[in-house]
Amino acid sequence: MIGVYIHIPFCDHICYYCDFPKVLKIGQPVDLYLKCLLKEIKKGLKIRCQKDIKSIYIGGGTPSALSEGQLIYLLDGLNQIFDISQIQDFTIETNPNDLQNYDKLQIMYRYGIRRLSIGAQSFSNNTLKRIGRNHDCNSIIQAVHNAQKIGFKNISLDLMFRLPGQSFEEFKENISQALKLNVTHLSIYSLILEQHTVFHNLLLEHRLVLPTPENDRQMYSYAMKVLKQNGWHQYEISNFCFANHESLHNKIYWHNDDYYGFGAGAHAHFGNVRIQNKQVINDYIHDLENDEMPILKNHFLTLQEQIEEEMFLRLRLNQGVDLKKSSQKLRIDLLQLYQKQIKKLIAEGLIEYKNERIFLTENGRYIANDVFSEFLLG
């Protein structure tokens, strides 16, 4: 199974915590970018057999920030390139503000998109302001209702915790609001302070007050507990779904399978090669206008890197690493290779071993990055 990631790097505003490849949309050559993007997709698809493509994910940036005309141009182009009837997961990332009427939703649905990922982040207007979001709580609720009226049955909300000024009570209210909306998927992330963001600068100036690590853990633990009580299934460290609505596209990443990446700054993965596109929009456009692929670098993974990636990515999933299958794939006995680490992590209560699989325990999920670092070789 192969996935296709398509990057739309334009946003109507910049959030204070964001380090994704993105630019303010205003003044950007958006039409020309879309033309080059379709050209890149057509050229790039010659690498692999198209019938194995099962997911298309349009991410950003903010793909829903495209005008209606631009959305039609992009989606019509994709419908001409791909056999959409074969696509099991066709997702687009959206900002609630762009879904306040039916116009863009109707376009998305008409061209075959069946899954929406809505960047909600919080239902508290104060917190939304504090983290630099440009929408409010009501616009999230309205966006979900509008999408459901159009016919979208598979809707995911992004929520964040460990946000400045966010209390445990406020986070509890977020989960309860999300549950009331009858969505099918929640991605719940802890704030990560990345360099070159407004928040990072505020932190350096000692002007950012974050919840304590105890609060952080309390919020995450609450989310896991309450969602489970409500019949939700956690299938990845940060991802929860109702009635088996797992993200098929994201599972391709966590299974360490192959995927195309199109657009400025996008990444692709085929076997032992990782490919990264140029991120500067003008460089990206320049290459495609000159009939060249906009590749910044091809990285050939060493065997050591392949093993480490297999472990880190699969361990994110609740079903963990199938040591037998992964050993066959990499042609190396992983149980033997990691014997010492596995014993130690089991003794510390951070992973479990069952039916030839290792997976994180609840305690392991709290400090997943520390657990992953145990699998670094050399």
- Per CB under 6 A, residues contacting ligand SF4 are 11, 14-15, 18, 20, 22, 60-62, 95, 119
Cβ 300 to ligand SF4, closest distance in Å? 30
Cβ 132 to ligand SF4, closest distance in Å? 7
User: Within a 13 Å sphere around the CA of 308, how many CA atoms are in the beta-carbon half?
Assistant: 14
Contacts of 73 (CB under 8 A, 6+ apart): 31, 34
User: Which C-beta is closer to ligand SF4: that of 197 or that of 327?
Assistant: 197
User: Which C-beta is closer to ligand SF4: that of 2 or that of 155?
Assistant: 155
Cβ 62 to ligand SF4, closest distance in Å? 5
Instruction: Take residue 357 and report the two structure tokens written for it.
Output: 């699989």
CB-CB contact of 40 with 288 (8 Å): yes
Element (H, E) at 315: helix 303-315
User: Which C-beta is closer to ligand SF4: that of 131 or that of 321?
Assistant: 131
Contacts of 317 (CB under 8 A, 6+ apart): 235, 236, 251, 254, 255, 359
Beta strands in the chain (DSSP E): 2-8, 10-11, 23-24, 53-60, 89-94, 115-121, 154-161, 185-190, 233-236, 239-241, 259-262, 267-270, 273-277, 295-300, 321-322, 351-354, 357-360
Cβ 5 to ligand SF4, closest distance in Å? 14
User: Which C-beta is closer to ligand SF4: that of 60 or that of 164?
Assistant: 60
Tell me which DSSP letter residue 24 carries: E
User: Which C-beta is closer to ligand SF4: that of 18 or that of 275?
Assistant: 18
User: Which C-beta is closer to ligand SF4: that of 15 or that of 183?
Assistant: 15
Cβ 14 to ligand SF4, closest distance in Å? 5
User: Which C-beta is closer to ligand SF4: that of 22 or that of 314?
Assistant: 22
Q: Is the peptide bond before 61 cis (omega within 30 degrees of 0)?
A: yes
User: Which C-beta is closer to ligand SF4: that of 200 or that of 255?
Assistant: 200
Cβ 2 to ligand SF4, closest distance in Å? 25
Cβ 181 to ligand SF4, closest distance in Å? 20
State the Cα–Cα distance between residues 120 and 105, nearest whole angstrom. 17
User: Which C-beta is closer to ligand SF4: that of 24 or that of 273?
Assistant: 24
State the Cα–Cα distance between residues 183 and 47, nearest whole angstrom. 36
> What single string gives the DSSP state of each residue in 108-123?
HHHTT--EEEEEEE-S
Look up tokens 């939700």; give the residue: 232
Q: Which residue is nearest to ligand SF4 (CB)?
A: 18
Cβ 135 to ligand SF4, closest distance in Å? 10
Cβ 160 to ligand SF4, closest distance in Å? 10
CB atoms within 10 A of CB 150: 16
Angle at 335 between CA 330 and CA 340, to 5 degrees: 130
Q: Which three-class secondary structure state does DSSP give residue 141? A: helix
